[in-house]
């Protein structure tokens, strides 16, 4: 699976696990909502800075957003 698809799947899973809408996540991460929607569809080749901001907004590790291991639960910390 392409890393963009891995990231798209993990981003969506983590956002839903947090009970956030794309709008709310966009606001927290100070990223445009339409960009988040595109990332969740694997459209863009995100930079590590963007991945880092999203991980912080979701209160998870950057590594978890790019892990190929399908995790039922995203580790909290």
**Residues in Cβ contact with 11 at an 8 Å cutoff, skipping those fewer than 6 apart:** 36, 39, 40, 54, 65
Task: Quote the CA–CA distance of 24 and 59 in Å, as a whole number.
Answer: 14
With contacts defined by CB under 8 A, name the span among 12-20, 27-35, 62-70 that binds a copy of itself.
Answer: 62-70
Q: Which of 4, 9, 12, 18 binds a copy of itself (CB under 8 A)?
A: 4
Total binding residues toward a copy of itself, as defined by CB under 8 A: 18
Binding-site ranges for a copy of itself (CB under 8 A): 3-4, 6-7, 45-49, 51-52, 61-64, 66-68
């Amino acid at each position: 699976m392409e890393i963009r698809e891995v990231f798209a799947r993990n981003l969506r899973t983590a956002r839903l696990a947090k009970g956030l809408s794309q709008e709310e996540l966009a606001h927290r991460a100070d990223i445009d909502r339409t960009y988040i929607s595109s990332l969740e569809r694997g459209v863009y080749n995100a930079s590590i800075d963007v991945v880092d901001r999203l991980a912080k907004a979701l209160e998870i590790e950057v590594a978890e957003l790019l892990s190929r291991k399908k995790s039922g639960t995203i580790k909290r910390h």
